[in-house]
Amino acid sequence: MSKVSYYTEEGLKKLRDELNHLKDVERPKASQAIADARDKGDLSENAEYDAAKEAQGLLELHISKMEAILSNARLIDESQLDTSKVLVHSTVVVNNKSNGAKMKYKLVAQSEADLKTGKISVDSPIGKGLLGKKEGEIAQIIVPSGTIELEVVSISRD
C-alpha cells in the first residue's frame, strides 16, 4: 500500500500536468521512435530499435509511478491548518542553536520540495524532526554531518 501525500492545489495541478504531458506528448514520441527504428530492417541487429524499446519501458514506468502518486494524493485546505504545531504545509521559522542562524521552511510533499524556495519534504530528516513540534520546542535532528538542534520560533500557514 502506498503512502498518502498531501498537496496544495498548485502542487496537485503540477503533478497532473506532468502526467498529461507524459501521456499525450512523450508516449506518442516513444511509439514513433520504435516505428522508425522498426522500418530500418532486421530487428535482431538494430540497436536503435532496442534503445527505443528501452526508452519506452522507462517512460511507462515513470507514468505508472506518477499515476500511483496521484492516486494517493490528497488536496489539503491550508486555511484549515492548525498552527499550534508543525504539520504538513506549515511554514516554520527555526533557529539553529549551534550557529544562531534563522531559517524559514515550508513542509511539503516530497514531489513539491524545492530547497531554493524554502520548501522541504516532510520525509527529509529536518522535516521529520520538525513535525509535531510546537513554538519554543527544540528538535534534535540527525543529519549526515551529526546532530543539529533547531528551535521552533514560529509556525504559520503562509
Q: Please tell me the distance from the alpha carbon of residue 30 to that of residue 79, in angstroms, as a whole number.
A: 42
Q: 78-156 sits in which CATH class?
A: alpha beta
- The yes or no reply on domain 5-75 and CATH 3.40.50.970 is no
Domain ranges of the chain: 5-75, 78-156
Question: Can you tell me whether residue 143 is helix, strand or coil?
Answer: strand
97-146 pLDDT, tens per residue? 889 899 999 998 888 888 899 999 988 999 999 999 999 999 999 988 88
* Cell numbers at 35, concatenated: 516505428
d(Cα 98, Cα 17) in Å, to the nearest integer?
42
Q: Is the pLDDT score of 1 beyond 50?
A: no
Residue 94 CA to residue 120 CA, distance in Å, equals 13
What's the pLDDT band for 2 if we cut at 50, 70, 90? Answer: low
Cβ-based neighbour number of residue 80 at 10 Å: 7
